[in-house]
Amino acid sequence: MSQEMDVGIRTRCQKPVGLSQEKAKFCYYSGRYYCQTCHQDSLFIIPARLLHNWDTNRYKVSKQAKEFLEFVYEEPLLDVKQLNPCLYQHCEALATVLTLRQRLQSLRAYLFSCRAAIAEDLRRRMFPREYLLQHIHLYSVADLQQVIDGKLAPFLLKVIKFASSHVYSCSLCSEKGFICELCQNSQVIYPFQESASKRCESCGAVFHAECWQRGQPCPRCVRRELHQKPASFWSQLDADDSPNNSALGYFEMGN
C-alpha cells in the first residue's frame, strides 16, 4: 500500500480517515468526508434534492451541516420560481399551495386597505411567516416540509376563510369587487374566488371563469391598446385642416 493511501483522507477537523485509518463518513449536504466524531449519521432533508427532484428522503449529514440546516430551517431562502419553476407542474401538492397563496395575496390587498386593526389581525395570523402573503414563490425548508406533510394547505385555507369572510361582510371591502365585462352580469365577483373567477394577467381585470375560458379578448386591454395607438394618417390630416393651422397662411392673399 502506498504512503498516500496509508495516510488516507484528512477531514475538516484534520483527523486522518481512510482504508488504514478510521472509517470515513460521507455528508450528502457538503459532499465531503468526515470522521465519526464530526459525523454521527444525523438525517436531514437536502434542500437542493428537494427543489430539483422533489426528493423528500432524509440523508446522512455531518454535525456541521446539521447545525447549519437547522439554523436556516425556518428562513425563507428558497424561491421556487427562480430555482425550479417546473416543480409546480410535477408536484400537485406544491401547485395547490401556490393557488392558495395567490388567493391569499389577493385578499391581502383588501384587508391591508381596510382598517388598521383588520390588517394587524391578518399579520398576527400569519406571524412569523408574512412572506407567505407577499412573495408567493418564497419558501423555507420548514414550509416545504409542511407541504410534504400536507399541513401547509390547511393552514392557508384557514386564513383564507377568515379573510374572505371579512371581505364579504365589510361595507368597505365588499364594494371593491368587479363586474364581468364579458357577460355584463351585475353579480359582483372577487379575484380570490379562484373557482369562479379569473384575472387578466396583463391588466388585473376580473371575469367569470366560464366567460374567460371562451377565449374572448379582455375588454380593458383592448381599450388600453386603442388609447395607446398613435393617431392615424386621416386623423392627423383632419387636425392639419383646422382653420387655426398656421399652414393656411401660405394661401392668404397679400394686401
Residue 248 domain flag: no
Better-predicted residue by pLDDT, 166 or 214:
166
Pair (165, 218) in one structural domain: no
Pair (153, 94) in one structural domain: yes
Better-predicted residue by pLDDT, 22 or 253:
22
Question: Which of 43, 71, 99 marks a domain boundary?
Answer: 71
Residues 162, 68 contacting (CB under 8 angstroms) = no
Pair (115, 163) in one structural domain: yes
pTM of structure: 0.75
Domain range for 192 is: 178-228
Residue 121 domain flag: yes
Question: Which of 71, 96, 113 marks a domain boundary?
Answer: 71
For the domain that residue 33 is a member of, what is the CATH number? 3.30.40
Averaged pLDDT, 101-128: 93
**Residues 6 or more apart in contact with residue 54 via CB below 8 angstroms:** 87, 90, 91, 94
Count CB atoms within 10 A of the CB of residue 179: 15
Better-predicted residue by pLDDT, 184 or 40:
40
Better-predicted residue by pLDDT, 78 or 218:
78
Residue 172 domain flag: yes
Averaged pLDDT, 13-29: 75
Pair (36, 65) in one structural domain: yes
Residue 215 domain flag: yes
How many Å apart are CA 248 and CA 242, to the nearest integer? 9
Q: What is the mean pLDDT of the chain?
A: 83
The percentage of the chain sitting over the pLDDT mark of 90, rounded to a whole number, equals 51
- Nearest residue to 33 via CA among 14, 56, 46, 49: 14
Residue 245 domain flag: no
3-state DSSP assignment of residue 96: helix
Question: Would you say residue 255 has pLDDT above 60?
Answer: no
Question: Would you say residue 238 has pLDDT above 60?
Answer: no
Pair (170, 90) in one structural domain: yes
Question: Would you say residue 248 has pLDDT above 60?
Answer: no
pLDDT at 253: 40
pLDDT at 237: 52
- Nearest residue to 205 via CA among 213, 197, 195: 197
Question: Would you say residue 236 has pLDDT above 60?
Answer: no
Kindly tell me the burial class for residue 233, based on how many C-beta atoms sit within 10 Å of its own C-beta (0-12, 13-18, 19 or more).
exposed
Residue 240 domain flag: no
Residue 90 domain flag: yes
Q: How would residue 3 be classed by pLDDT, with cut points 50, 70 and 90?
A: very low
Averaged pLDDT, 86-94: 94
Pairing of strands 33-34, 42-45: unpaired
Give the CA distances from residue 34 to residues 56, 72, 101, 154, in Å, rounded to whole numbers and listed in that order. 24, 22, 41, 41
Pair (150, 104) in one structural domain: yes
Q: How would residue 16 be classed by pLDDT, with cut points 50, 70 and 90?
A: low
27-46: pLDDT as tens digits: 999 998 888 888 899 999 99
- Nearest residue to 59 via CA among 80, 36, 16, 30: 30
Question: Would you say residue 154 has pLDDT above 60?
Answer: yes
pLDDT at 220: 85
How many Å apart are CA 168 and CA 250, to the nearest integer? 67
Residue 251 domain flag: no
Question: Which of 21, 45, 71 marks a domain boundary?
Answer: 71
Question: Would you say residue 4 has pLDDT above 50?
Answer: no
